Copies of this chain bind each other. A is one copy, B any other.
Amino acid sequence: MEGISAVVFDLYGTLYDVHSVALELEALYPGEGLEMSRLWRQKQLEYTWLRSLMGQYINFESATYDALRFCCAQMKLPLDTPTQERLCSSYLRLRTFSDTFDALRRLKNSGLPLGIVSNGSNYSIAQVVDNSDMRWAFNELISADDVAIFKPDSRVYALAEQRMDLPREQILFVSSNAWDATGATHFGFPVCWINRQGNAFDELGARPKYVASNLGMMTDMVLKGV
């Protein structure tokens, strides 16, 4: 890639696997883990978008907690306080994907500044990064909470540009979430969409400049030129 001076990553679903929560769910609700995990994630996203649109921002942990309560009510499953705390805290101990560590190490060694820009709160981002021993990789951990609205609102992408202290054209934005890759493209970042599962790209009026099937391929593209 030409002209890239820094790389920023989405966190949930891009560097860290949100479906690792499914294991915890399956232990608590045998036979329901996968469906619950899918519904919880779907509602978590919807709630961030809807609250942003309604002008009713709450932080990501609260939206995650609300989404869990909805899931249990909808699926007619019990949810006591210890279960709820255990599940919400599992969002602070997400696993990296198998390609995350090596990609970040190679990019870091090349001297590029790296960052995370996430809808998670500062607390959540720091917890996830620290619990996986990945703090060494990042120059900046950037939270939507600082502008009190969620991606794909442009104020979150603008915050990333400001904190990385570079013009947007020089910051590669990496996300596996097609809606996020689209928002970042509309904002003006060069974007690499990580398409691990061979999904179709969302039809939201913009296409990312780059597509890779994993973080290793993205890193190759950054370091060797496309």
Q: A56–B206 Cα gap in the complex (Å)? A: 10
Q: B54 to A49, Cβ gap below 8 A?
A: no
Other-chain contact of A204, B54, B74, B186, B204 (Cβ < 8 Å): B54
Q: Does A47 contact B (CB under 8 A)?
A: yes
Residue total for A at the interface (Cβ-Cβ under 8 A): 34
Q: A186 to B56, Cβ gap below 8 A?
A: yes
Other-chain contact of A203, B47, B52, B150, B206 (Cβ < 8 Å): B47
* Chain B, residue nearest A45 (CB): B46
Q: A53 to B153, Cβ gap below 8 A?
A: yes
Chain A residues touching B, majority SS: helix
Q: A52–B205 Cα gap in the complex (Å)? A: 12
Q: Does A152 contact B (CB under 8 A)?
A: yes
Q: Does A199 contact B (CB under 8 A)?
A: yes
Other-chain contact of A74, B46, B55, B153, B200 (Cβ < 8 Å): B200
Choose the segment among A62-70, A83-91, A210-218 that binds chain B (4+ C-beta atoms closer than 8 Å): A62-70
Q: A204–B154 Cα gap in the complex (Å)? A: 22
Question: Given contacts A70-B202, A74-B199, A205-B56, are A50 and B51 in contact (CB under 8 A)?
Answer: no
Q: A74–B66 Cα gap in the complex (Å)? A: 29
| 14 A-B residue pairs with CB within 8 Å | A43-B202, A46-B179, A47-B203, A47-B204, A50-B182, A50-B202, A51-B204, A54-B183, A56-B204, A58-B205, A66-B204, A66-B205, A69-B203, A74-B200
